Structure 1
């Protein structure tokens, strides 16, 4: 693709960004198809509730918290309130269908974890989001209060860190002995709009592509292809008329100028310098407060969408972002 009215040859590889975006869309579609057919892209409902010990804490909680908020239920067999709260949390974990993962920790068998979290009494419920621990509540709280807390946790995870949860294969478990066939995949109602968006990108009509993707997301906010395409189209639209040398000069000469750092991060990304783009924005978030901090944080989340939530560079940057926010 050769964008019109641009003088960035050899500086910004927009074609590579577009190709990478298309490849990522195909990969996401393949994972979704695999999940619908019982493949490895989704987990069964039983995997939404896990028992965690000290040996597996880093793998099962810290690492998983880079893709989904992990709620930790500290409990013990002798604790009567735990026997009320535990089943409720397990039911909600399945009802929320992958928006959070429930990790159950038996404090009698895992005294070190209890000490590390400063647990004074049980039941105690914490969350880990992007590697950072957050206290939620203690005791057998009412269900309405627990739901409100979980909704807030999920909102924070999505808005601040781009954590949209994990896919759940509802067909992966059935009556014992029952043979499960692949679920039927209905034809998508947005094929025409998505195709129009792709054609707009090919014609360098970034505004048209943005609008087409937004039309899909207005009806289907979780549409993976539209989210990826929108992030890509908005990035291409932002950089097409930039003077790369001027942008980089501004960023170097004005380290405290948030807008200059955001523009330079866009150029870093389309130039293939992914870690530089992420690092620049994480540092900008660290150095600023209020609206300036929020602007840098939101742009970083948008760039996460361009690269993809499972990319190790995104996971590392989310963890770095969490450290400067909390």
Structure 2
């Protein structure tokens, strides 16, 4: 898709500013003695191979003018250029998932993005067989992407194939702690799906809990959270604190930065105290 190259003071305008009018250019200001720079380098190399962009590397020791012109003080300093201007960036080593989120925010796409769009289209059209085939092909093509295995597990939960969902979750490295909350959230989705299909009892609380589980499985997280938090306020001990645990599982599923997580985490705290 893209490529990586070394850029110098004398050709920065041509290789970065002019080229960024055709495709995004990610500029990595680095030095050979910089440990964090060496940690970031293979991640950016992978980005250059997968994304529709250029990764331009500028050695700050050998090229002092351009770093000074762009206010580079600490390294690694990564700046993303489009149409001759800096549109975003970061200093230090950004974890790979956060870097990919940043690229998505900057509308820099990869082959994986295009193929995931095809999966979503198949799912939206109700073609589960095509969606499953495409997801499994992606898991095979990108075995180093835990998020793909999580997406595949969520797909299997949605169609009620719980054993296959657990098998996909087992392929997420246990040592990769950044994905642990999502793994637990998908396992919670399995519980939600089971309790949606088979309510645990006949009481009003049981019916409300089951309804919230169904809302979660269908993706109506807002109403699900409202219902779970209402249950917390009505009976904290219901299902061994199950409503609170269910709300937290949704927060993990959405991520800490999601607006619903931020809004309803406060409401959950109020319901508890």
Pick the TM interval, shorter chain: 0.3 to 0.5
Per the normalisation by structure 1, the TM-score is 0.34
Which fold has the larger relative contact order, with Cα–Cα distance below 8 Å and residues 6 or more apart in sequence?
1
